[in-house]
Amino acid sequence: MTRIGIESAFEVLVKARALEKQGRSVIHLEIGEPDFPTPANVVEAGQRALGQGWTKYGPTQGDPELREVIAAYISRTRGIQVGPERVCVVPGGKPIMFFTMMALLEPGDEVVYPNPGFPIYESMINFLGATPVPIPLIEERGFSFDLNTFEARLSDRTKMVILVSPANPTGGLVPAEDIRRLAELLRHRDVIVLSDEIYSRIIYDGDPVSIASFEGMLDKTIILDGFSKTYSMTGWRLGYGVMPTWIAEAVVKLMVNSNSCTASATQRAGIEALTGPQDAVTAMVAEFRLRRDAIVHGLNQIPGFRCALPAGAFYAFPNVSGTGMPSKELADLLLYEAGVACLNGGAFGAHGEGYIRFSYANSLANIQEALSRIQKASERWARSVSS
Ligand code: PMP
């Protein structure tokens, strides 16, 4: 247990709630969940399912109808051909990480993964005794990586490569050409790619590209996706992986030893989410775009902050090295002095130091208020430095 990590978003949320209990006002830009309600048609489908008796255990691998729907959806959106035998439905996107890494990794195996990145990747690599091989993400490349560095980090011991695009915490996108070249590098290697595509529907410029769609990659790739972000369903706990059947068999075993199955009525709601009208998703992404433009513009007005325009997800990841403060200190100051909850970039790995993550899954009015609070706080710290 000393090797397993945590996710700081949940920690900061607890601190922010404690401040609110003391009567302080806090704007929440820390937690990565859409602030929109789950679309009404999806809620109704869930309620209907409960009324119809979808209240019992179901198949461990997932509701067969939902698995069909997911296989068709992934085939259509990724330009590949997959059947339901490759689909495992689990309670959220995270369990796909947990189960597939647990199934595949052993001490001595190397895992190449993005840094800064979603903290659970590194946590699980360390927990399982595998060797973390971080790939630095580069601000000037839209927070993608350098392919030569990537190639240099691959070795005979590389068992898994983790990709995420669009990414948390940077909002960055891996360019399609880089994914193609990466596929060429990996095609003949004995590696598995864990491709975290949970933000694939939240892209502002360009289309999602899955490494699974390149020649020879389908049987090496685990696509991780789910309902949390796209359909504002974080609390329903519904996600899935699409993977080679030999890995699916391992995931089913781990599921039967842990959850037995994913909640039955939740899965019926998932069928409606994927097959029903998609206008709530379109409206959500349009609103996120407005907020992205507002927060990036506002952050760039603050002395010491430099913020690139994220291409996807709902995170802004400004470089704050110009403030002269370590990012943990700055994140604490913003929470305790300005009442703006955000995350220290260093919590996403060593290469996140010097950055702060703001989730802009909050109203435009709250984002404007947060920006004005940060601006005022920055005037105070500028005065204290000069005096
Ligand atoms: N992958 C990434 C990159 C994420 O940011 C998150 C959620 N923050 C997840 C996976 C997990 O999603 P879920 O809540 O569905 O488990």
Residues in the chain: 387
Q: Give the pLDDT of residue 386.
A: 63
Q: From the alpha carbon of 167, which atom of ligand 1 is closest?
A: 3
* pLDDT band at residue 19 using 50, 70 and 90 as cut-offs: very high
Q: State residue 357's pLDDT score.
A: 98
CA 229–ligand 1 middle distance (angstroms): 8
Ligand 1 pocket, 119 CB below 6 A? no
CA 367, 284, 66, 93 dihedral sign is negative
CA 196 from centre of chain? 7
Pick the range with the lowest mean pLDDT from 46-50, 207-211, 250-254, 311-315: 207-211
Query: Phi, psi (5° rounding) for residue 113?
Result: -150, 155
Angle between helices 364-386 and 279-300 (to 10 degrees): 20
83 C-beta neighbours (distance < 10 Å), count: 13
166 close to ligand 1 (CB < 6 Angstrom): no
From the CA of 234, give the closest atom in ligand 1: 14
- Cβ of 313: how many Cβ atoms within 10 Å? 30
Whether the link from the prior residue into 169 is cis, omega within 30° of 0, is yes
Q: What is the 3-state secondary structure (H, E, C) of the chain?
A: CCCCCCCHHHHHHHHHHHHHHCCCCCEECCCCCCCCCCCHHHHHHHHHHHHCCCCCCCCCCCCHHHHHHHHHHHHHHHCCCCCHHHEEEECCCHHHHHHHHHHHCCCCCEEEEEECCCHHHHHHHHHCCCEEEEEECEHHHCCECCHHHHHHHCCCCEEEEEEECCCCCCCCCCCHHHHHHHHHHHCCCCCEEEEECCCCCCECCCCCCCHHHCCCCHHHEEEEEECCCCCCCCCCCCEEEECCHHHHHHHHHHHHHHCCCCCHHHHHHHHHHHHCCCHHHHHHHHHHHHHHHHHHHHHHCCCCCECCCCCECCEECCECHHHCCCHHHHHHHHHHHHCEECEEHHHHCHHHCCEEEEECCCCHHHHHHHHHHHHHHHHHHHHHHHC
The residues facing 28 across adjacent strands are 341
Q: What is the mean pLDDT of residues 31-48?
A: 96
Mean of per-residue pLDDT scores for the chain: 96
Amino acid identity for residue 182 in this structure: L
What does the pLDDT read at residue 384? Answer: 72
- Measured at the alpha carbon of residue 333, what is the angle toward residues 329 and 334, in degrees to the nearest 5? 120
Predicted pLDDT of residue 7: 84
Domain 56-275, what fold? Aspartate Aminotransferase; domain 2 (3.40.640)
pLDDT, tens digit, 9 for 90 and up, residues 129-163? 999 999 999 999 999 999 999 999 999 999 999 99
* CA atoms of 143 and 171, how far apart (whole Å): 8
pLDDT tops 70 at residue 32 = yes
pLDDT single digits (tens) 337-378: 999 999 999 999 999 999 999 999 999 999 999 999 999 999
Average pLDDT for residues 243-249, to the nearest whole number? 98
The yes-or-no verdict on residue 385 having pLDDT over 80 is: no
Ligand 1 atom nearest 32 alpha carbon: 8
Q: Domain locations in the chain?
A: 8-38+279-379, 56-275
**pLDDT tens readout for residues 263-321:** 999 999 999 999 999 999 999 999 999 999 999 999 999 999 999 999 999 999 999 99
Contact 159, 37 (CB under 8 A): no
Q: Which atom of ligand 1 is nearest to the CA of 239?
A: 15
Place 102 in a pLDDT band, splitting at 50, 70 and 90.
very high
Instruction: Report how far ligand 1's centroid is from the alpha carbon of 96 (Å).
Output: 10
Q: Please tell me the CATH code under which domain 8-38+279-379 is placed.
A: 3.90.1150.10
Peptide bond into 116 cis (omega under 30): yes
Probe residue for ligand 1, chosen from 7, 30, 168 as the CB with the greatest number of ligand atoms within 8 Å: 168
The answer on pLDDT for 387 being more than 70 is no
- Is 90 exceeded by the pLDDT of residue 218? yes
pLDDT band, residue 200 (cuts 50/70/90): very high
Q: Tell me: cis bond preceding 208? Omega within 30 of 0 counts.
A: no
- Give the list of residues 6+ apart from residue 282 with CB closer than 8 angstroms, or none: none
Whole-structure pTM value: 0.97
Task: List pLDDT tens digits, range 165-195.
Answer: 999 999 999 999 999 999 999 999 999 999 9
> Residue 206's pLDDT band (boundaries 50, 70, 90)?
confident
**Do 8-38+279-379 and 56-275 share a fold?**
no
